[in-house]
Amino acid sequence: MNALIARTRFSVLDRSRTREEHAPAEALRDTVALAREVEALGYHRFWVSEHHGVPGVAGSAPTVLAAAVAGATRTIRVGTGGVMLPNHQPLVVAEQFGVLESLYPGRIDMGLGRSVGFTDGVRRALGRDKGDADDFAAQLGELLGWFEGTSPTGVRARPADGLRVPPFVLAMGEGADIAARAGLPLVIGDLRGREKMRRGIERYRDRFRPSPWAAEPYVVISGTIAVAGTPEAARRLLVPEAWSMACSRTRGTFPPLPPAEAVEGRTMTPKERGFYESGLTGHIAGTEDQVAHELETVLKETGADEVLVTTSTYDRTALLESYRRLAALVNGV
């Protein structure tokens, strides 16, 4: 067993990706079931995400889904990767996480992002615009203030006031600087842009200011990791998501995941083929030995404290098997 991998925490982010011919409700139930399964495998955290108006994603209300996950599990940490803070009033976010922490004390994480809705239509429906992301630092400060009881309004966020829900900032570039100034753990990705990720981590560490929330920098790197018995089988796990990404770039829509065999049998335009092939590269995928080698490399490059695995695919059985193989690799089984 590689000592560097063995001392690194591994966690899971599930986006509740919908699958062709399956209802969104199935994707949400699959997320809850996966949380139970990866808890049994020894993963450290299980996070859910926030997307609005996306045909291929059922997870639109992360704190609601996190409550379902926490209620279905016993020990694994549960959180969001993340709540997109510009979409919400900080007081409401504080209240939601205060309720979660009160119900499941010591198990809740508050992962926070600065993205606004993907399209103009979604942003209008949310009552937001792209410029709202520019206020993220102020929104973050206000949110933390509700937990610390420092709001100048005289209002107290119940039951959040006085609770300690660990906050994480999901970011690249400027967002990493915000995390550093606020003294918060950083979640950064993806593994396909390793040089950009490494530079962001270096800036974060250089500019980190200790805070009541974190005494020193803490880095979580996120990305797709697929482990299978053969390199070909691992690559096939990447196929459905790569095709969905190609569709989003060429057709303006992010569809439900198709079976790998349906994608492999398609006739693609040159533009579709280019985005599709690009979507298959840069991830950590292969057999246990291949994945261990790649993981050791990226952990040495980044000095990350934790890895957040974000793999999505159509074949749920193969996905779970990938998580089993990764857990066995990490645990030296």
pLDDT at 17: 96
* Number of other CB atoms surrounding residue 262 within 10 Å: 14
Q: What number is the average pLDDT over the span 183-210?
A: 92
Q: What confidence category does residue 115 fall into, taking pLDDT thresholds of 50, 70 and 90? A: confident
Q: Fill in the amino acid letter for 301.
A: E
Least confident of 120-129, 131-140, 216-225, 314-323: 120-129
Q: List, in order of start, the domains of the chain with CATH numbers.
A: 3-225+294-331 (3.20.20.30)
- In the chain, the percentage of residues whose pLDDT exceeds 90 is 81
| Secondary structure element (H or E) that encloses residue 33, with its range | helix 24-41
pLDDT at 253: 85
* Number of other CB atoms surrounding residue 302 within 10 Å: 19
The beta strand positions in the chain, using DSSP E, are 9-14, 45-48, 77-80, 83-84, 108-113, 167-170, 186-189, 219-223, 225-227, 284-286, 306-309
**CA 55/CA 149 separation, integer angstroms:** 39
pLDDT at 181: 95
**CA 138/CA 56 separation, integer angstroms:** 32
Q: What number is the average pLDDT over the span 88-107?
A: 96
Q: What number is the average pLDDT over the span 144-167?
A: 89
pLDDT at 325: 98
Q: What number is the average pLDDT over the span 176-203?
A: 92
CA 237 to chain centre: 18
Angle between helices 174-182 and 194-207 (to 10 degrees): 30
**CA 284/CA 259 separation, integer angstroms:** 20
pLDDT at 1: 54
pLDDT at 109: 98
What would the pLDDT profile of 18-72 be if each residue is shown by its tens digit?
999 999 999 999 999 999 999 999 999 999 999 888 889 999 999 999 999 999 9
Q: Which residues pair with 111 in a beta bridge?
A: 168
